[in-house]
Amino acid sequence: MAGTFDPEIVRDVGAVIAREVRARGVALVLSPVVDIARDPRWGRIEETFGEDPHLVSEMGVAAVEGLQGRGRLEALGPDKVFATLKHMTGHGQPASGNNVSPAPIAERELRENFFPPFRSIVARTSIGALMPSYNEIDGVPNHANEWLLEDVLREEWGFGGIVVSDYNGISQLMSLHHVAADVEDAARQALAAGVDCELPDGAGYPTLADQVRAGKVSTAAIDRAVRRILALKFRA
């Protein structure tokens, strides 16, 4: 689709997907992928719109508009679904080209090449959700990166939707990145960084109620995530 250089094709495809998905009673899809693909050894090139930040931005905006509708929408139309931006970020230039490997990318490179598609879509659409990527940047896993998910995404860009984890991305803070002692610790770190919802089934977040009772997690932190999720549901 990116090779057509025709955003209308992507917009049309998104509209058909939205119609079919909403007919099944579902209001959120985990699409589009707006990763910048910069290492041909990486095994997920086919999921992307390519290597150029401007092209990826335009195709990403078109995909979101097809899925959700154009403009700043408070509520979904009857044949639309909320889109989820994936995966923030650096996923497409991992060390040695290995999927999920660290992305040793400086902030200037992030802002010039990897941030623009996400920033453009947040600015130009009413995007409903965003998903962090599995990798780490500068030693910090993205599912525990408050600078990335709160300071940049929400404070700088004004994102108002929900942040959903990549599949098992929270438990990987323990099993893959080894920055969490256990799943309870992984859940605390992700929640503090701004991840509102754990996908697919939930390994860490089901422990949060007991952690609140034990005084390890504040009620305010839970309220913040719940408020965002309920706001999206009401918009749907």
Q: Which of 166, 185, 196, 210 is catalytic?
A: 166
Q: Which amino acid is at 34?
A: V
- Output the CA–CA distances (angstroms, integers) from residue 7 to 13, 128, 166, 200, in the order listed: 10, 20, 26, 31
Structure tokens at 143: 């599912």
For residue 141, what are the β-bridge partners?
A: 136
Question: What residues contact residue 21 under an 8 Å CB cut-off, 6+ apart?
Answer: 29, 81
For residue 197, what are the β-bridge partners?
A: 164
The answer to whether residue 166 is catalytic is yes
For residue 85, what are the β-bridge partners?
A: 130
Q: Which amino acid is at 163?
A: V
Is the peptide bond between 32 and the residue preceding it cis, with omega within 30 degrees of 0?
yes
DSSP string, 105-133: --HHHIIIIISHHHHHHHHHS---EEEE-
- CB distance 28 to 82 below 8 Å: yes
Helix or strand (DSSP H, E) at 77: none
The number of helices, as runs of H, and strands, as runs of E, in the chain is 9, 5
- Using DSSP's 3-state secondary structure scheme, residue 93 falls into coil
- Catalytic residue annotation: 166
